[in-house]
Amino acid sequence: MALTLYLHPLASFCHKVLIALHEAGTPFEAKIVDLMDPQEHARYLEVWPAGKIPVLHDAAANRTVPEASIIIEYLDRLHPGKEALIPRDEEQALEARLWDRFFDLYIHAPMQKIVTDTLRPEGENDSRGVAEARTALHTAYDMADRHLAGKIFAVGERFSIADCAAAPALFYAGIVEPFDATHPSLSTYFERLFRRPSFERVLAEARPYFHMFPYREAIPPRFL
């Protein structure tokens, strides 16, 4: 297999790339990485010294590609599906990249701050940082709700990199800080993403690992 994706099925940034791969129908080999296992972590550092996932390795090009957004751009250029995930129109491409960064930085990042704080040893929690993250999420929800009013996808008429970013970010953020009752346009948009076959497949592959999620008790039954 020319393409190998190093991932963990529960990891939200891995979901972002998996959605892109499934949308394109691109064949790849998935290699699960357990970063909590010291020996496995050490072996993985030989692949990518920064120790983060996801990472794509293209054997045919002998190239290792890190970072979810860059991986999707790489795939869209060299292993494209029928529909481009980066719009060919320059203005829409810029807009797609903007909303890709929006979902990563303003929803995904504060969500991860809230989740990872629960993993800290007792006495080392950052209650102020968590409160700030929740405030940041609500600001982002407001912005996204306004932007998505009357829209099918985040940008234009077609599914794009922005929607790849939005689906996992909103899935996990909606568990730790629900938005369904307060942000109708955002909620309608997420429901559309939730029913997309690429995301349904990603969640099906993640479901056996949900017990590892720190907020597992808050996962709505419909996701289980």
Are residues 23 and 134 both part of a single domain? no
Q: With pLDDT > 90 as the criterion, what percentage of the chain qualifies?
A: 95
**In this structure, are 98 and 200 located in the same domain?**
yes
Is residue 4 very low, low, confident or very high in pLDDT (cuts 50, 70, 90)? very high
- Structural domain including 50 reads 3-78
Stated pTM of the model: 0.96
Structural domain includes residue 85:
no
Q: Name the more confident of 156 and 220.
A: 220
Residue 160's pLDDT band (cuts 50, 70, 90): very high
Within a domain: residue 84? no
Q: What is the pLDDT of residue 86?
A: 97
pLDDT at 1 over 70: no
At 72 the three-state DSSP class reads helix
In Å, how far are 79, 94, 203 from 161, measured between CA atoms?
Answer: 14, 11, 18
Instruction: Count Cβ atoms within 10 A of the Cβ of residue 128 and give its class: 0-12 exposed, 13-18 middle, 19 or more buried.
Output: exposed
| 50 and 140 co-located in one domain | no
Average of pLDDT values for 127-145? 97
Same domain, yes or no: 101 and 212: yes
pLDDT at 156: 82
pLDDT for the residue 16: 98
Q: Is residue 195 part of a domain?
A: yes
Which pLDDT belongs to residue 139? Answer: 98
